A = this chain, B = another copy of it.
Amino acid sequence: MTTDIDTRQTVRVDLGARAYDIVIGPGALQETGERVVALASGARCAIVTDENVAPLHLGPLADALSAAGIASTPIVLPPGEATKGFDHLQQTVEALLEARLERGDLVVALGGGVIGDLAGFAAAVTRRGMDFVQVPTSLLAQVDSSVGGKTGINAPQGKNLVGAFHQPRLVIADTGVLDTLPAREFRAGYAEIAKYGLIGDAPFFAWLEENLDAIMDGGPARTDAIARSCRAKADIVARDEREAGERALLNLGHTFGHALEAITGYRSDILVHGEGVAIGMVLAHAFSARMNLASPDDARRVAAHLERAGLPTDLSAIRSHIADADTLMDFIAQDKKVSRGALTFILTRGIGEAFIARDVPPSEVRAFLKDTLES
Q: Which residues of A contact B (CB under 8 A)?
A: 42, 86, 89-90, 93-94, 97-98, 102-104, 121, 124-129, 150, 152, 155-158, 161-165, 242, 336, 338-340
Question: Whole-angstrom distance between the alpha carbons of A94 and B242 in the complex?
Answer: 22
Q: Which of B90, B97, B121 contacts A86 (CB 8 A)?
A: B90
Asked if B86 contacts A155 (CB within 8 A), the reply is no
CB distance from A301 to the nearest CB of B (A): 34
> Would you give 23 A-B contacts (Cβ < 8 Å), ordered by A?
A86-B86, A86-B89, A93-B155, A94-B156, A97-B155, A97-B158, A98-B157, A103-B339, A104-B339, A104-B340, A121-B125, A124-B164, A125-B162, A125-B163, A127-B162, A127-B336, A128-B150, A128-B152, A128-B163, A128-B164, A128-B165, A129-B164, A164-B164
| 3 closest residue pairs by CB, A with B | A97-B157, A86-B90, A128-B163
The CA of A59 and the CA of B150, in the complex, are separated in Å by 38
Instruction: Given A125-B164, A162-B125, decide whether A102 and B42 contact each other with a Cβ distance below 8 A.
Output: no
**Identical copies in the complex:** 2
Contact of A125 among B125, B129, B150 (CB under 8 A): B125
With A121-B125, A127-B161, A128-B152 known, 13 other A-B pairs at CB within 8 A are A86-B89, A94-B155, A94-B157, A97-B156, A97-B158, A97-B161, A102-B340, A104-B339, A104-B340, A128-B165, A129-B164, A129-B165, A164-B164
Q: Which residues on the B side are within 8 Å of A163 (C-beta)?
A: 125, 128
Q: Which residue of B lies closest to A153 (CB)?
A: B125
CB distance B126 to A161 under 8 Å?
yes
- CB < 8 Å neighbour of A102 from B89, B156, B242, B339: B339
